[in-house]
Amino acid sequence: MHFFRGLQGCRNSNASSKQNSLNQGVISICKPKLKADQAKLLAAHKHSESERRRRMGINGQYATLRTILPNLIKMDKASVLAETIRRVRELKKAVEEVEEVCCTVPDVDDELRLEVGEDHEESAGLVLIKATLSCEDRPGLMLELINALKSVKRGVELRVVKAEMMTAGGRTKTVLWLRRRGAGSGGRGYEHDDDNEAILVMLRRTLKVVLAKRANGKC
């Protein structure tokens, strides 16, 4: 604790007061220039008070963070900040991942993109295809897509694992996650990359037809 709390009990060796000037040994320094010193004292008081307010504000925000953040083990400021940073980054990534799919504005031009997926959790050995397509919106599009997908067989079934769709401004963006499913997952593995390539080509051609339909005014 420092010198005063609420302007009483000053024991600063520099600051002078009528009483303290009696002290032995500290005489020459503590010549009471009364008015100036009082003003200084008041200023110091104001200063420390406003600094305290500032601290309280900041500490209140730490408290808020402590209540917001889950799984907070250590409660000290550094840990709170560290966890905050971690969480902001984590959440940002999660949101971006989703936004990429269903919250972005559909592309202005028709687009079809096929991606062979990364190894997903338990889908080891299964081929995951992500099909992203943007086009003019129209009723029955999803139905057409699914019907079209049924025609891409090549011996194995193309299974829709997940589907997302969003529309904006008369255009729509659809994302389909497809999985090749053969004669049971216990059976033989999928033949070759060549085969995958062939399926991708066929898939692309098929979906393009669906996309083109409207462009030709057929719908």
Q: Given the rule CB under 7 A, which residues bind DNA?
A: 1-5, 12, 14-15, 43-48, 50-52, 54-56, 59, 74-79
11 or 193: whose CB is closer to its own copies?
11
**In whole angstroms, what is the distance from residue 20 CA to residue 22 CA?**
5
User: Nearest approach, Cβ of 67 to DNA (angstroms)?
Assistant: 15
Q: Which is nearer to DNA, 73 or 108 (CB)?
A: 73
Report how far residue 132's alpha carbon sits from residue 168's, in angstroms, rounded to the nearest whole number.
16
Q: Binding its own copies by CB under 8 A: which of 125, 139, 186, 189?
A: 139
Residue from 92, 120, 154, 205 touching its own copies (CB under 8 A): that is: 92
What is the binding site for its own copies (CB under 8 A)? 13-14, 24-29, 54, 57-58, 61-62, 64-65, 68-69, 77-78, 81-82, 84-85, 87-89, 91-92, 94-95, 98, 102, 139, 142-143, 146-147, 150, 157, 159-167, 181
